Amino acid sequence: MVGAGSEFDRGVAVREQSPGEYAADLGAGWTIGNGVNGGYLLAVLGNAGADLAAKAGHPDPFAVSAHYLTPTRPGPALVRARVVRSGRSLSTVQATLFQQHDDEEVPRITALATYGDLGTLSDEVHTTAAPPVLPPRDECFSSADAGGASDAFHPPLIDRFELRSDPASAGWAIGKPSGRGLLQGWFRLSDDRDLDPLALLFAVDALPPVTFDLGLPGWAPTVELTVHVRARPAPGWVQLRHRTANLAGGYLEEDCEVWDSTGRLVAQSRQLARVPRG
């Protein structure tokens, strides 16, 4: 299932209230701790930008770069978006999400997004990256069970998707992180809405911070997050792999790959995040 009616589509819906100004209502169901999930926000921004780019025949996000400015709260938000340049095969949009705070308009997240039409790309695939090696889903840890194991870690966000974590990267949940800086598992949206390019913007940032696997509890605020969407995912579960290799100076990079049910690498992301203060 794709489209209106799914909780993802309702969650990222925007309404153009004047040219280039889109109203959004950020759902409390997409929060974790006091904040709104960064991937969800990227999808909201990406949705507003897609409305503009689609008019030029470029409906799909190819590359979205977001810089996170201030913590976003659930509730009303305004996205201001404009086309910076529209060419033959690509359109680039600049978009910023604002919220009212103390009678002042505060920017929460600002992004550049280049859109195209994934349907026009050639079928050649020469990917040399190797997909994750995951046990079957019924041998993985289900996020649906996580509430029972630890009520402290059951934010609303976790009900928006189903995650089946590779046991080898899920040790953090029982106090035994692997120390490799690797989190991976099977993923789909909770109401079984199939992933599309917009939903991939959410998928790359839906999991806990990869620092959990390094024994560093606490949140890792995103400074910058860029996603490349490389193909429309096939229906069904996707595989997610999050890794970090450069934790230094109080910051880390976090890379995510999304592999679809046909074994194609459909999205790659990298973010710069702050190391949790513990």
Q: Check: CB of residue 161 under 8 Å from CB of residue 206.
A: yes
Residue 50 tokens read as 């897609």
Closest-CA residue to 35 (of 211, 202, 222, 161):
222
18 strand-pairing partners = 21
* Beta pairing, strands 60-68 & 222-229: antiparallel
* Alpha-carbon span 226 to 259, nearest angstrom: 17
125 lies in the site for a second copy, by CB under 8 A: yes
CB-count exposure of residue 220 (10 Å: 0-12, 13-18, 19+): buried
Contact 266, 257 (CB under 8 A): no
CB of 34 to a second copy, least distance (A): 17
Q: Which of 13, 54, 63, 168 binds a second copy (CB under 8 A)?
A: 63
Q: Which stretch binds a second copy (CB under 8 A): 32-40, 106-114, 156-164, 190-198?
A: 106-114
- 183 binding a second copy? (CB under 8 A): no
Helix (H, G, I), strand (E, B) or coil at 154: coil
Rounded CA gap, 258 and 205, in Å?
11
Which range in 25-33, 160-168, 193-201, 241-249 contacts a second copy by CB under 8 A? 241-249
By beta-carbon proximity to a second copy, the closer residue of 32 and 69 is: 69
- Taking CB under 8 A as the criterion, the residue among 25, 57, 94, 168 binding a second copy is 94
200 binds a second copy (CB under 8 A): no
Does residue 118 bind a second copy (CB under 8 A)?
yes
Per CB under 8 A, the segment of 11-19, 27-35, 81-89, 168-176 that binds a second copy is 81-89
d(CA 212, CA 170): 9
Q: Is 241 in the site for a second copy (CB under 8 A)?
A: no
Q: Closest separation between CB of residue 84 and a second copy, Å? A: 5
Q: Which of 6, 99, 143, 226 binds a second copy (CB under 8 A)?
A: 226
Number of residues in contact with a second copy, rule: CB under 8 A?
A: 49
Q: Answer yes or no: are the C-beta atoms of 135 and 245 closer than 8 Å.
A: no
Q: Are 25 and 77 in contact (CB under 8 A)?
A: yes
CB of 1 to a second copy, least distance (A): 25
Shortest Cβ distance from residue 242 to a second copy (Å)? 14
Q: Does the protein bind a second copy through residue 104 (CB under 8 A)?
A: no
Q: Is residue 138 at the binding interface for a second copy, with CB under 8 A as the rule?
A: no
